[in-house]
């Protein structure tokens, strides 16, 4: 059975997108799923978060793979895929990916190059997670064109909610023109300090705006220094702070998404 492909997407930075991608993926692996994580950000944030602290030194990355697809160069099985100790596979990214935005503009079928690659690996996994860059450029369009579901991390800030409108328009356009099967799995509130009236008001505004139109996951990811530390540690929150509130929140979120998908 082919993998379900999730794009974790928000064009605004600072919404815990990479932390969510990593811990959602490793959470699924802990449930026995075979998971491939694909870093689609030239900053290599996911790659660094999984222990490859100098992604620019990696020889084979997503940029290599996409260039091979564009130039019709056959890829060996498992080419460029790294294995992480917590049971997930990773296709890393580094600064070379920044040039891919320009290359794709002049490429035939430019929106579906990633989808061509995924056809080669999709039967080897249960889930593929695409950690997109904080923009709505050609690489993010490729992710949406290749995905079955979109998970939208949304920081508990007013501007993050306002930014959702543009993202939702882009998703609707991709669904209309390129990928009619694309669905939104839901919005997950991140970096939330629910002790404050401000954050409670933001969450209420989110529900007032989108209830009945989009799913808003019950699991809210709390603000925590421990979550931020995981990126430097190269491991998930489940190893870094297994009994903490962030690990519990990501475990609950993973279960919520998995149950909806099942």
The pLDDT, as a whole number, for residue 226 is 72
| Residue 159: CATH number of its domain | 3.40.50.300
Q: 14: pLDDT confidence band, cut at 50, 70 and 90?
A: confident
Q: What is the pTM of this model?
A: 0.95
Structure tokens at 73: 């160069």
Q: 262: pLDDT confidence band, cut at 50, 70 and 90?
A: low
The pLDDT, as a whole number, for residue 261 is 66
Contacts by 116-122, CB closer than 8 A, 24 or more apart = 116/69, 117/65, 117/66, 117/69, 117/75, 118/5, 118/146, 120/75, 121/3, 121/36, 121/81, 122/2, 122/3, 122/5
User: How far is the C-alpha of 212 from the C-alpha of 149, rounded, in Å?
Assistant: 18
DSSP annotation of 222 reads: B
Question: What is the residue-averaged pLDDT of the chain?
Answer: 91
Domain limits for position 31: 4-261
CB 97 within 8 A of CB 124: no
CB proximity list for 122: less than 8 A, separation 6 or greater: 2, 3, 5, 128
Region class of 161: left (phi > 0), else alpha (psi between -120 and 50), else beta: alpha
pLDDT tens digits, one per residue of 71-85: 999 988 888 999 999
Structure tokens at 53: 């602290």
Structure tokens at 72: 């019709």
Number of domains present in the structure of the chain: 1
Whether 210 has a pLDDT exceeding 80, the answer reads yes
- Percent of the residues in the chain that have a pLDDT greater than 70, as a whole number: 99
- Percent of the residues in the chain that have a pLDDT greater than 90, as a whole number: 63
Whether 32 has a pLDDT exceeding 70, the answer reads yes
Q: 54: pLDDT confidence band, cut at 50, 70 and 90?
A: confident
The pLDDT, as a whole number, for residue 56 is 84
Whether 230 has a pLDDT exceeding 80, the answer reads no
Mapped onto helix, strand or coil, the DSSP state of residue 153 is strand
pLDDT tens digits, one per residue of 147-186: 999 999 998 887 787 788 899 999 999 999 999 999 999 9
Strand intervals (E) in 65-122: 82-83, 88-91
Region class of 191: left (phi > 0), else alpha (psi between -120 and 50), else beta: left
CB 231 within 8 A of CB 45: yes
Q: What is the mean pLDDT of residues 21-35?
A: 96
CB 17 within 8 A of CB 151: no
Of 23-32, 48-57, 200-209, 226-235, which one has max mean pLDDT? 23-32
């Amino acid at each position: 059975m082919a993998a379900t492909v999730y794009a974790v997407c928000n064009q605004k930075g600072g919404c815990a997108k990479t932390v969510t991608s990593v811990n959602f993926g490793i959470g699924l692996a802990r449930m026995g799923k075979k998971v491939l994580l694909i870093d689609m950000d030239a900053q290599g944030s996911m790659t660094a978060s999984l222990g490859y602290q100098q992604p620019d030194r990696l020889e084979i990355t997503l940029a290599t793979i996409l260039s091979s697809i564009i130039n019709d160069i056959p890829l060996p099985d498992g080419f460029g895929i790294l294995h992480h100790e917590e049971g997930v596979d990773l296709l890393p990214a580094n600064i070379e990916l920044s040039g891919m935005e320009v290359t794709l503009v002049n490429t035939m079928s430019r929106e579906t190059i990633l989808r061509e690659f995924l056809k080669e690996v999709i039967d080897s996994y249960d889930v593929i997670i695409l950690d997109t860059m904080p923009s709505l450029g050609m690489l993010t369009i490729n992710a949406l064109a290749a995905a079955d579901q979109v998970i939208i991390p949304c920081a508990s800030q007013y501007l993050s909610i306002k930014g959702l409108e543009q993202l939702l328009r882009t998703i609707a356009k991709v669904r209309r023109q390129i990928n009619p099967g694309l669905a939104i799995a839901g919005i997950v509130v991140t970096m939330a300090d629910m002790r404050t009236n401000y954050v409670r008001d933001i969450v209420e505004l989110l529900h007032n705006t989108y209830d009945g139109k989009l799913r808003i996951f019950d699991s809210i990811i709390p603000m925590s220094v421990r979550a931020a530390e995981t990126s430097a540690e190269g491991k998930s929150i489940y190893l870094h702070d297994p009994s903490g509130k962030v690990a519990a929140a990501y475990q609950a979120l993973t279960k919520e998404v998995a149950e909806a998908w099942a």
